[in-house]
């Protein structure tokens, strides 16, 4: 199994999502793990040049357009090579961190990770699994104001990844000990389901 690990927590020292992601990966039978740390190596925001370049056929792009898409191409190749994505998802102000949103903007590309059909959009990265390691002070996963996991499920499904599991440490401000115990139990369940 090839795993793509994506860390997005700005907290690089005592991050709950990084800890959970470590434990999830340790529970998987991974042949290789590629790590993309969005806090330590921030991604650029999309630009006008990028937006224009993505609509130009690959064999007609200028050198500037190819350069503008190079990072996006590399990120998409990482997903294509992976069997499983393990994504650290801290909830910032009810949603995903800006660093993770930048990654999403760079990988959600028509003709590369999804396409439009007469029946609607179709994801092109099928047959992969994603595990979200979620941490939040008090935004319960699945609640009406949980925009992070619902958004991630939608985006991943949009590009074809519909097998999405969640390990939730979503009540850290209320009872950190019980919250972490429950998250570790969920990781044990993932092991049993694999």
The binding site for FMN consists of 9
pLDDT for residue 24 is more than 70: yes
The binding site consists of 9
Region 62-74: what's the mean pLDDT? 97
Region 52-71: what's the mean pLDDT? 96
pTM of the predicted model as reported, rounded to 2 decimal places: 0.96
pLDDT for residue 155 is more than 70: yes
Q: Which residues contact 2 (CB under 8 A, 6 or more apart)?
A: 30, 31, 32, 33, 34, 81, 82, 83, 84
Q: Is 143 exposed, middle or buried (0-12, 13-18, 19+ CB in 10 A)?
A: middle
7, 35 contact by CB (below 8 A): yes
Q: Is 127 exposed, middle or buried (0-12, 13-18, 19+ CB in 10 A)?
A: exposed
pLDDT for residue 48 is more than 90: yes
Q: Provide the pLDDT confidence category of residue 23 given band limits of 50, 70 and 90.
A: very high
Q: Provide the pLDDT confidence category of residue 190 given band limits of 50, 70 and 90.
A: confident
Region 151-164: what's the mean pLDDT? 98
β-sheet with 32-37: strand ranges across: 32-37, 2-7, 84-90, 129-135, 163-169
Locate 85 and state its tokens.
Answer: 């994505």
Region 153-177: what's the mean pLDDT? 97
pLDDT for residue 193 is more than 70: no
Structural domain spans, the chain: 2-193
pLDDT for residue 15 is more than 80: yes
Q: Provide the pLDDT confidence category of residue 113 given band limits of 50, 70 and 90.
A: very high
Confidence at residue 192, expressed as pLDDT on a 0 to 100 scale: 65
What 3-state DSSP class applies to 82? coil
CATH number of the 2-193 domain: 3.40.50.360
pLDDT in tens, 98-110: 999 999 999 999 9
172, 140 contact by CB (below 8 A): no
């Amino acid at each position: 199994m090839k795993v793509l690990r994506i860390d997005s927590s700005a907290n690089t020292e005592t991050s709950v999502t990084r800890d959970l992601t470590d434990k999830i990966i340790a529970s998987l039978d991974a042949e290789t793990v590629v790590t993309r740390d969005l806090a330590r190596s921030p991604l650029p925001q999309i630009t006008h040049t990028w937006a224009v370049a993505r609509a130009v056929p690959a064999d007609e792009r200028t050198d500037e357009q190819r350069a503008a898409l190079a990072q996006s191409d590399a990120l998409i190749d990482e997903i294509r090579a992976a069997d499983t994505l393990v994504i650290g998802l801290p909830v910032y102000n009810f949603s995903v961190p800006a660093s993770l949103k930048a990654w999403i903007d760079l990988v959600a590309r028509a003709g590369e990770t999804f396409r439009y059909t007469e029946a609607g959009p179709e994801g092109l990265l099928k047959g992969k699994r994603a595990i979200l390691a979620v941490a939040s002070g008090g935004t319960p996963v699945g609640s009406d104001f949980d925009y992070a996991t619902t958004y991630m499920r939608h985006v991943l499904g949009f590009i074809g990844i519909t097998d999405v599991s969640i390990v939730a440490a979503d009540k850290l401000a209320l009872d950190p000990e019980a919250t972490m115990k429950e998250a570790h139990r969920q990781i044990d369940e993932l092991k049993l389901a694999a």
